[in-house]
């Protein structure tokens, strides 16, 4: 029992010693902080004292109102170069601002716009007219759905024209029309058709697949160019080569002779000849 009391008393004494050491350390820290920081006394100005005067050199810029200095009378400027802070009131009348000298109440009049400085339609290139399903009526003469067109640069040719070669006559107009149909092959024709040429026979420059059909006819001897046309050189070359109208009948009638006792020969001879 005595041993337990001694142990308890020792523990209480140790706690008391530890607490005393903590309080002593805290007191030492407070004393060091108070000795290191001096005491400052905050002084408050007395409101009864007069404000210190400000010299002109100490002012960084002129703080006076420029409008007030302009409107202030000369007599109010202080002596010794000091500016007066007094301003004069200026009468403001809103009805005097933003109004013309003479106010009219007439309604606005709409005028016609001016004409353009340049002819815009004239400057734009005219797009060619695409004509489809061509039908060759003769060499250089084409019939479409609503228009009949003669190729520009060549003379019109009739399908009934006949030519003489080797003492024989042959339908050169029909042969030329057949050759022209084979050239067209129902392809679309791009032509520079005039605006007032719908519904009648017109003359225009055309192209078929990027090729000039008039130049093709002249080069093959199936057309005669107009006087002064650049196609005259091609026509002269076709004349020398005896092409088209300048040559013989290009149709080949040479066939293998058949015996007369063949029953199919009579039927073949009775059939109508095709349109060449």
Per the model's pLDDT, the better-predicted residue between 33 and 70 turns out to be: 33
Q: DSSP for 176-216?
A: HHHHHHHHHTT--EEE---TT-TTSEEEE-EEBTTB-HHHH
By mean pLDDT, which of 73-87, 232-246, 259-273 is the weakest? 259-273
Yes or no: say if 165 and 249 are a contact pair by the CB < 8 Å rule: yes
- 136 membership: H or E segment, kind and range: strand 135-138
User: pLDDT tens digits, residue range 139-161?
Assistant: 999 999 888 999 999 998 899 99
pLDDT tens profile 16-65? 888 989 888 888 888 777 666 555 555 665 655 555 554 545 545 455 55
**Mean pLDDT throughout 63-77?**
47
Cβ neighbour number for residue 231 with a 10 Å cutoff:
20
The confidence score (pLDDT) of residue 6 equals 82
Give yes or no for a contact between 205 and 192, defined as CB atoms under 8 angstroms apart: yes
Give me the mean pLDDT over the 159-169 stretch: 90
| Nearest partner of 246 among 156, 166, 165, judged by Cα | 165
Rounded CA-CA distance 180/137 in Å is 9
Work out the pLDDT band at 221, boundaries 50, 70, 90. very high
Nearest to 190 by CA among 124, 242, 128: 128
What pLDDT was estimated at residue 76? 46
Would you say domain 129-246 falls under CATH 1.10.1040.10? no
Cα distance between residue 194 and residue 133, in whole Å: 19
pLDDT digits (tens, 9 = 90+) for 177-218: 999 999 999 899 999 988 765 557 899 999 999 999 999 999
Q: What is the DSSP letter of 154?
A: B
- Site of tokens 């010794």: 80
pLDDT tens digits, residue range 90-107?
Answer: 666 666 556 556 656 677
Residue 163 CB: number of other CB atoms within 10 A? 18
How does strand 148-151 pair with strand 141-143?
Answer: antiparallel
211 strand-pairing partners: 208
| CB of 276 closer than 8 Å to CB of 251 | yes
**Structure-block tokens of residue 219:** 């080069």
Q: What is the pLDDT of residues 118-131, one digit of tens each?
A: 766 665 667 888 99
pLDDT higher than 60, residue 273: no
3-state helix, strand, coil in the chain (%, to 5): 35, 10, 55
């Amino acid at each position: 029992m005595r041993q337990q009391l001694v142990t308890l008393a020792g523990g209480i004494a140790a706690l008391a010693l530890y607490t005393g050491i903590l309080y002593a350390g805290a007191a030492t820290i407070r004393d060091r902080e108070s000795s290191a920081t001096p005491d400052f006394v905050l002084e408050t100005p007395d409101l009864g004292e007069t404000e210190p005067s400000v010299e002109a050199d100490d002012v960084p810029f002129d703080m006076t109102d420029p409008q007030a200095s302009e409107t202030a009378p000369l007599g109010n400027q202080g002596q010794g170069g000091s500016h007066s802070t007094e301003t004069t009131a200026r009468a403001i009348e809103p009805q005097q601002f933003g109004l013309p000298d003479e106010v009219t109440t007439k309604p606005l009049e709409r005028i016609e716009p001016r004409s353009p400085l340049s002819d815009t339609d004239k400057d734009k290139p005219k797009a060619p007219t695409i004509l489809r399903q061509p039908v060759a009526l003769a060499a250089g003469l084409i019939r479409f759905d609503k228009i009949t067109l003669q190729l520009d640069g060549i003379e019109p040719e009739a399908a009934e024209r006949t030519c003489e070669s080797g003492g024989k006559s042959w339908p050169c107009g029909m042969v030329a029309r057949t050759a022209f149909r084979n050239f067209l092959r129902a392809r679309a024709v791009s032509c520079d058709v005039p605006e007032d040429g719908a519904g009648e026979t017109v003359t225009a420059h055309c192209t078929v697949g990027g090729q000039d059909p008039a130049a093709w006819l002249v080069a093959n001897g199936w057309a005669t160019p107009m006087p002064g046309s650049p196609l005259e050189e091609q026509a002269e070359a076709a004349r020398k080569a005896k092409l088209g109208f300048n040559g013989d009948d290009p149709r080949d009638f040479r066939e293998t002779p058949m015996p007369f006792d063949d029953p199919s020969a009579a039927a073949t001879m009775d059939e109508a000849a095709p349109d060449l």
